[in-house]
Structure 1
Amino acid sequence: MKWKPIKFLALGIVVTSALSACSAAPEESAEPQTAETETIQEQQDKPTESNTDTKTEDTESSKETSEPVEGQPPTVTEASTTIIKALQAEDMETIASWASQEGVRFSPFANIDPENDLVFKPDEISGLLKDTTKYVWRSTPGNEESIEMTYADYHQKYVYNKDFIHDGENAVNAMIGEDAHLGNLHEVYPEANHDFVEFHVNGTEPDGRDWHTLRLVFEKIGQDHSLVGIVHDQWTP
């Protein structure tokens, strides 16, 4: 009878051990579940990182396409700026480089005369300032007196006869001066394939009639521009 408590004690230890083993089983199975959860989370994180990278690449690509691309033809504004500066500097080589192969028409007045206005090819333009030939450029309205002079004199009176760069305004395909008019510009140079840039200096006299306008006319060749006309305009009686 003295051994019975010992037996019960041993039996209790066995039962307790068994219960401990059963309760430990869920804890062991919980470890794979945690590992599996982390793996799924990692898989979810990977697409997110990929999407972020894609968005970053798209943004960078958009920035690149929004920036100017080298090698693109100059705009009509850029072309006219180069040419007006060349006219101011009497740099006829630069004018020749922009000239159409068909030539550039020089008109002293807004009403262009396709039959009588003089047209010079690029190789002729480059040497015009040194040319001593007196050309008949047209006749003045009213008295019909012939405008006969060298190009150097014509340049001073009917091309860059005002400081169009510093004293004037300019606009693309638009008139600026209130008294100025386009004449037959669009008849000779249709809008569909031509642009013009107007440089205008307002008059300083009380009646304002001493205004002057210079129009650079360009033929549109795709995205490029070729100079085809230099048209001067001023008040005439």
Structure 2
Amino acid sequence: MYKNNIILALGLIFMLIFSACTPQNTEDLSKELDSLKDENKILQEKISSLEEQLNEDANNEAGAMTSLSLATKVVNILKARDMNELKNYAHPQKGIRFSPYAYIDETNDIIVTANDLEPYMNSSDIYTWGSYDGSGEPIDLIFSDYYDRFVYNQDFANPHIVGNNQIVQTGNTINNIEEVYPNAQFVEFHFTGFDPQYTGMDWTSLRIVMEEYNSQLYIIGIIHDEWTI
């Protein structure tokens, strides 16, 4: 008797299940499933689109460096004397003008293009980079010697003061950076001095000048500065 009751109960359950799964209900479930699949497809497309946008924004932020971040990167490249890396940041059209003092001589200061930076560093050719302050004698040096005297003559990657679009120190030489580079930005890496007996007269600075080209900043000038007569 107990066994017959169990069989009867199971039979009733199966009847209820099969009665619920009518053709109409099956059709409704199928439509709902198709609708969910369409919604899922739309959501997946939106997710893909947002992911692409995030990646694009991240790449743009990485490419669009600020003047301070670019100058800091470049000064470390200068410390490493890596001209092969520096060329990636040289202005594609204007190259980099090297100025031994604060006064930028648009006629005589030497401009080195991106592709010439490494050959210049390895060259034994002597170039005239300007005139020495005080004596007026020509600065006739190979590029690597000029570099040691008028580019990275101190550890500018670890300066006393950094000026972002601000002149930190000036000497007796006219500073015409704003006249020569009116549309540029610059960062000054400055040492206030080294030997107390000179009371700050042995200060020195390196200014990295940047200008925008195709929505990206590039180096157009590297200016050395120091106390002058």
- For the residues of structure 2 that align with 1:121 and 1:112, how far apart are their CA atoms? 17
Report the Cα offset of residue 75 of structure 1: 1.2
Partners of 2:156 and 2:190 within 8 A in 1: yes
Determine the structure 2 residue equivalent to 1:97. 88
Determine the structure 2 residue equivalent to 1:203. 193
- For the residues of structure 2 that align with 1:162 and 1:154, how far apart are their CA atoms? 13
- For the residues of structure 2 that align with 1:165 and 1:180, how far apart are their CA atoms? 25
Determine the structure 2 residue equivalent to 1:19. none
Cα-to-partner distance string for 1:129-176 (whole Å, 9 max, x where unaligned): 211111000011222101001110011000010011224321210022
Partners of 2:159 and 2:189 within 8 A in 1: no
SS at match of 2:157: helix
Determine the structure 1 residue equivalent to 2:119. 127
User: Structure 2 counterpart of 1:81, which letter?
Assistant: T
Distance 1:210 1:124, change over 3 A: same
- For the residues of structure 2 that align with 1:117 and 1:182, how far apart are their CA atoms? 15
Q: Among residues 219, 223, 229, which one is paired with 2:211 in the alignment?
A: 219
Distance 1:224 1:182, change over 3 A: farther
- For the residues of structure 2 that align with 1:165 and 1:99, how far apart are their CA atoms? 19
Determine the structure 2 residue equivalent to 1:189. 181
User: Structure 1 counterpart of 2:76, which letter?
Assistant: K
SS at match of 2:187: strand
User: Structure 2 counterpart of 1:99, which letter?
Assistant: A
Distance 1:199 1:181, change over 3 A: farther
User: Structure 1 counterpart of 2:184, which letter?
Assistant: H
- Whose Rg is larger? 1
Determine the structure 2 residue equivalent to 1:152. 144
Partners of 1:200 and 1:214 within 8 A in 2: yes
Report the Cα offset of residue 182 of structure 1: 6.8
| Structure 2 alignment gaps of length 5 or more | 1-49
User: Structure 2 counterpart of 1:140, which letter?
Assistant: Y
Determine the structure 2 residue equivalent to 1:12. none
1:81 aligns with 2:46: no
What count of residue pairs does the alignment treat as equivalent? 171
- For the residues of structure 2 that align with 1:78 and 1:201, how far apart are their CA atoms? 19
Report the Cα offset of residue 223 of structure 1: 4.1
Determine the structure 1 residue equivalent to 2:60. 71
SS at match of 1:165: coil
Report the Cα offset of residue 177 of structure 1: 2.9
Cα-to-partner distance string for 1:103-150 (whole Å, 9 max, x where unaligned): 110000000000000001111012222111110000112221010011
Cα-to-partner distance string for 1:180-217 (whole Å, 9 max, x where unaligned): 87701111100xx2100110011123321111000000
Pairwise mapping of residues 3-82 of structure 1 onto structure 2 (< 5 A)?
Answer: 69-72=58-61, 73-82=64-73
- For the residues of structure 1 that align with 2:73 and 2:149, how far apart are their CA atoms? 21
- Aligned CA RMSD, in angstroms, stands at 2.2
- For the residues of structure 2 that align with 1:166 and 1:213, how far apart are their CA atoms? 12
Report the Cα offset of residue 222 of structure 1: 5.7
Distance 1:83 1:187, change over 3 A: same
